[in-house]
Structure 1
Amino acid sequence: MNGRAELTRSLKLWHIVVIGLGYMAPMAVFDTFGIVSEETGGFVPAAYAVTLLAILFTASSYGKMVRVFPSAGTAYTYTQQTINPYAGFMVGWASLLDYLFLPMINALLTGVYLSSVFPEVPTTWWIVGFIVLITTLNIFRVTVTASINSFLVLFQIAVVVLFAGLAIRGLATGDGIGQVFAIRPFFSPELTVAALFSGASILCFSFLGFDAVTTLTEETVDAKKTIPRGILLVAMVGGALFITASYFMQALFPDVSVLSDPEAASAEIALHIGGSIFQLVFLAAALSSTLASGLVSVTSVTRLLFAMGRDGFLPRKWFGYVHPKLKTPLLNVLLVGTLMFAALFLDLLTATSFINFGALIAFSFVNLSVIAYYMRKQKRLRVTEWWSYLLSPLIGVGFISFMWISLDIKSMILGILWSLVGLIYLLYLVKIKGARLDLMKFEE
């Protein structure tokens, strides 16, 4: 990689874990609880457990690919190097959907939260302030982002632990199902597989954090060991937080129809369990969640753009630029910060519908990349290697295929249109412009 722009390796395992958890936003469990409880018939923690099990197969595939291709390009690079360079570009292009729109979603959520407390202040002001703040923080070295994110994530975890403590107190005094430990939120004869997987299809997007940390591979010390460990820890710790919080919520509210608005029940649940003071603490944690997720999502998308620019798929002088002192892709940060102002013209539902398509594309092709690399290129054909390099990624593809079936039609249409734009650009780049692509090559 001599002569190519490079990022500085400064991140350690704990940085990777808190960044991944920040991306996953532990407080998101409260936002989706009411919807998933209705979908599953009151078995949200069971749906989280199934989702975690399913997502671990794809997380394992990411870990295998990082060891071979320690690049900031994540699914884009893996597909490029194992299947086809142009397929890799299309995967990267599709992935930009969720990476670009997640910061906007967090900006919109911040506006919603703060406007509920300060209704006299225009929502636009909060959105603009959020964009300026996270753009400014991303200008500095990635360790600054990691340090700030650590505080925000620890605060969220503390609130989840406090919530669990208050829930135990409530259950012990006869609230909810009246039992601190019960099997009901995980299993009951009326639980159906269809309902369980319907809930899982919604919750799978809560686990995007392990994908995001792979964009920081080139900024991680001993990345081939650190990133795979970080991926596993992010998925497991995030899953444990989600399962724990949803268990106590489900125990308190076996039937969410008692809530005034099950689809936006978090504030009501906080008021019910801890009163107005805890509701304010809960709101602060929700705000820290949007800030942490927005902060690291900008970090991730700027690294993906950097990898695609350095390879020549995007204009190299801009997208492949690294500031000599800050050691960050400064121009990409400024560009993403500018694009985020589109949030002023979007509603939350529209912005959310953009992210799922790109995530599923990335998940699918990372699993396929494992098979293509190890079975086709490396000829790992021994029966003892089938589980790691064939069956495990195939199971990952199987679970992702189910999620494709459950994908909202609006997400599918928007994703296809975005992919067509990418295909047209790729044809222009290669056929008309005649660009010579400087693709990375790594050795295992």
Structure 2
Amino acid sequence: MTDNTTLKRSLGVWSIVALGLGYMTPTVVFDTFGIVSKLTNGVVPMAYFVALVVMVLTAISYGKMVQVFPAAGSAYTYTRETMGSHLGFLVGWTSLLDYLLLPLVNALIIRIYMESLFPNVPVWIWVFAYVIVVTAINAYSMESTSSLNFILVVFTICLIGIFIILASVQLYHGMGNGTLFTIHPLSHENVKLIAVLTGATVVAFSFIGFDAITMYTEEAKDTSTVPRAILLTVLIGGGIFFIASYFTQALFPDVSVFENVDDTLPEIGLYVGGKLFQLLFIAGAFAATVASGLASHASASRLLFVMGRNGVLPKKTFGYLHPKFRTPVFTIVLTGIVSLFAIGPNLELIASVINFGALIAFTFVNLSVIVHFYIRQKRRSGSETFKYLIMPSFGALATGVLWYHLHADAFIGGIVWLIIGIIYMLFITRFFKKELGSMDSIDDLESLDKEIFNEDKIKVLN
């Protein structure tokens, strides 16, 4: 065990922004382009714009709450502290969908990449190989730094920049809409608001991870760093998504050209820059996805471990640490097993299911601002009413609208998951006769960091 009691305050705004963007994986805009273009009838940038507005409102609320709870930046912690432990548990339970399914999404995207390059190889081979490697690395340990994430993000953004240049050349030569400046990717006569909102629920998945920035609170140089980094991450990430999707939509007004609509990145690379650029495009996206996969696998397994250690899940199994590696091996393997389901599902369904939990969490972050500042602290002057009631109300309403327009199957799956959570809560509390165990993953993860990980590994866990 380490004697460290506090994390080193070494991360500035841009270091944290780089970590947030790395988690968001900017190349995902090309992976989901075909799905969203089909849903919105060819206005993917508008779906991203709607999602960006919603996420900015929510990011501002995260910024407010992370200053109130600087060591516990998460939606279920805010809900528990402001609206009670039972509601906090349910928000946390729905958030588990994000944690458990994000590693699966990364495995699914890797499968599609490899399938496009080696169409004759059975897809299960790629999924098994990827999951085994990622699970093994997490079980043994892994080392990385914020500077490595920064390099990865810079490389990804440069790759997207090259794509925009190549796309501009292709548009100049008559491909797609045949012009750089066109309103068609944003609006045309066949566009319907409901379709745009449905598309926005899918692309909201692209923003998942910006809230993970709250995990770096104790490593930030000062208390104002994290709220600024949250907002910058959303704005920069949203800007990248919007610009990249605009050029892609201008090049491909409809999806009829794509053979695989579930993941269009490989074909986009081929059509825009030829075989060489396709390989480069896939390589960059592959590296970004693997890095995101390692991080999301680690986060999911450690959340399950903390829940086990606190007694929310069976402690003997979920709270087990390997005596040599000092890693939660059981939950790491369990996360890997869940990831194996990437053999079957499509990206649209999984992304929508993830958004079920994420959008509920985002809604309650906004509501937490209202309860804490406006109701409890009675901060109700003119400017405070705008900051602590009107803005978070718009944020909660907007995330609620997106949640309402989720894919039907995802909505059903999410409701079933929520019902299971309610039944489980009733069971462990003996119908509210016992206290509910803490589900404060980030607070406990920080304690876990101090107990079993050295400072370098803390950065990886975060």
- What TM-score do the two structures reach when normalised by structure 1? 0.85
- Which residue number corresponds to residue 248 of structure 1? 247
Offset of residue 210 of structure 1: 1.1
The CA distance in 1 between the partners of 2:263 and 2:388, in whole Å, is: 42
CA contact (8 A) 1:70 1:223 kept: no
- Which residue number corresponds to residue 270 of structure 1? 269
Q: How do 1:10-89 residues align onto structure 2 when only pairs under 5 Å count? A: 12=11, 13-72=13-72, 74-89=74-89
Q: How do 1:359-438 residues align onto structure 2 when only pairs under 5 Å count? A: 359-431=358-430, 434-435=434-435, 437=437
CA contact (8 A) 1:73 1:308 kept: no
Q: How do 1:205-354 residues align onto structure 2 when only pairs under 5 Å count? A: 205-214=205-214, 216-217=215-216, 220-222=219-221, 224-302=223-301, 304-305=303-304, 308=307, 313-314=312-313, 330-331=327-328, 335-345=331-341, 347-349=344-346, 351-352=350-351, 354=353
SS at match of 1:186: coil
SS at match of 1:224: coil
Segment drifting more, 314-323 vs 121-130: 314-323
Offset of residue 32 of structure 1: 2.0
CA contact (8 A) 1:11 1:143 kept: no
- Which residue number corresponds to residue 95 of structure 1? 95
The number of aligned residues is 434
Q: How do 1:111-190 residues align onto structure 2 when only pairs under 5 Å count? A: 111-118=111-118, 122-138=122-138, 144=144, 146-188=146-188
Encode CA deviations 1:187-242: one digit per residue, 9 max, x unaligned. 4566543443333232222111212322x245532473232122112111111111
Give RMSD over aligned pairs: 3.3
CA contact (8 A) 2:185 2:250 kept: yes
Distance 1:226 1:132, change over 3 A: farther
Distance 1:137 1:21, change over 3 A: farther
Distance 1:68 1:312, change over 3 A: farther
SS at match of 1:425: helix
One-letter amino acid of the counterpart of residue 300, structure 2: V
Offset of residue 269 of structure 1: 2.3
The CA distance in 2 between the partners of 1:437 and 1:42, in whole Å, is: 47
Offset of residue 54 of structure 1: 1.9
CA contact (8 A) 1:6 1:322 kept: no
Encode CA deviations 1:252-275: one digit per residue, 9 max, x unaligned. 223433445555433222211111
- Which residue number corresponds to residue 456 of structure 2? none
Encode CA deviations 1:301-339: one digit per residue, 9 max, x unaligned. 34544664565534678767899999xx831x6513433
Offset of residue 95 of structure 1: 0.4
Distance 1:325 1:6, change over 3 A: farther
Distance 1:140 1:244, change over 3 A: farther
SS at match of 1:185: coil
The CA distance in 1 between the partners of 2:231 and 2:142, in whole Å, is: 21
Structure 1: where are the runs of 5+ without partners?
Answer: none
SS at match of 1:180: coil
The CA distance in 2 between the partners of 1:319 and 1:73, in whole Å, is: 23
Offset of residue 97 of structure 1: 1.0
The CA distance in 1 between the partners of 2:154 and 2:16, in whole Å, is: 14
CA contact (8 A) 1:66 1:224 kept: no
CA contact (8 A) 1:40 1:195 kept: yes
- What TM-score do the two structures reach when normalised by structure 2? 0.82
Encode CA deviations 1:58-116: one digit per residue, 9 max, x unaligned. 11111111111123461111001011011111111110111111101211321232243
The CA distance in 2 between the partners of 1:51 and 1:74, in whole Å, is: 20
Distance 1:195 1:128, change over 3 A: closer
Encode CA deviations 1:400-431: one digit per residue, 9 max, x unaligned. 12112211222222222222222233223223
One-letter amino acid of the counterpart of residue 28, structure 1: V
Distance 1:318 1:224, change over 3 A: farther
Distance 1:311 1:248, change over 3 A: same
One-letter amino acid of the counterpart of residue 99, structure 1: Y
The CA distance in 2 between the partners of 1:233 and 1:136, in whole Å, is: 34
The CA distance in 2 between the partners of 1:248 and 1:150, in whole Å, is: 25
The CA distance in 2 between the partners of 1:117 and 1:257, in whole Å, is: 20
| Percent of matched pairs sharing the same residue | 45
One-letter amino acid of the counterpart of residue 160, structure 1: I
Segment drifting more, 52-61 vs 109-118: 109-118
- Which residue number corresponds to residue 452 of structure 2? none
Segment drifting more, 170-179 vs 230-239: 170-179
Structure 2: where are the runs of 5+ without partners?
Answer: 444-462
Distance 1:407 1:6, change over 3 A: farther
One-letter amino acid of the counterpart of residue 344, structure 1: L
The CA distance in 2 between the partners of 1:419 and 1:438, in whole Å, is: 18
CA contact (8 A) 1:128 1:341 kept: no
The CA distance in 1 between the partners of 2:425 and 2:396, in whole Å, is: 26
Offset of residue 279 of structure 1: 1.1
